């Protein structure tokens, strides 16, 4: 690649690929009995016990006319 003639690369992986949901379901079922604490998920499993509903109202939170400008960063 030279400065005079830069090459442009396009990642078309998502456009050219597909997902076999039947195989995905089989895979997820086969790993459902794995002890995830072996991978450092002790805190995650403990925090799942503390999950509760909140009072977030999607209709109130989203403005009728969305706004953003070039350079805004969403978190």
What is the per-residue pLDDT for 23?
A: 92
Q: Pick the residue with more confidence: 46 or 17?
A: 17
- The larger pLDDT score, comparing residue 60 to residue 22, is at 22
CB 45 within 8 A of CB 37: yes
- Distance CA(35)–CA(44), nearest Å, equals 13
- Condensed to tens digits (0 to 9), the pLDDT of residues 14-34 reads 778 888 889 988 888 888 777
Taken in order 41, 46, 47, 52, the sign of the CA dihedral is positive
State the average pLDDT over residues 35-40.
76
| First vs last C-alpha separation in the chain | 34
Residue 24 is predicted with a pLDDT of: 87
Which pLDDT value is given to residue 60?
Answer: 79
Residue reference for tokens 């403990």: 46
């Amino acid at each position: 690649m030279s400065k005079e003639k830069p090459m442009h690369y396009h990642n078309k992986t998502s456009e050219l690929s597909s997902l076999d949901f039947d195989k995905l379901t089989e895979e997820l079922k086969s790993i459902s009995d794995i002890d995830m604490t072996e991978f450092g998920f002790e805190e995650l499993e403990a925090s799942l016990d503390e999950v509760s509903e909140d009072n977030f109202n999607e209709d109130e939170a989203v403005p009728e006319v969305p706004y953003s400008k070039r350079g805004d960063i969403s978190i």
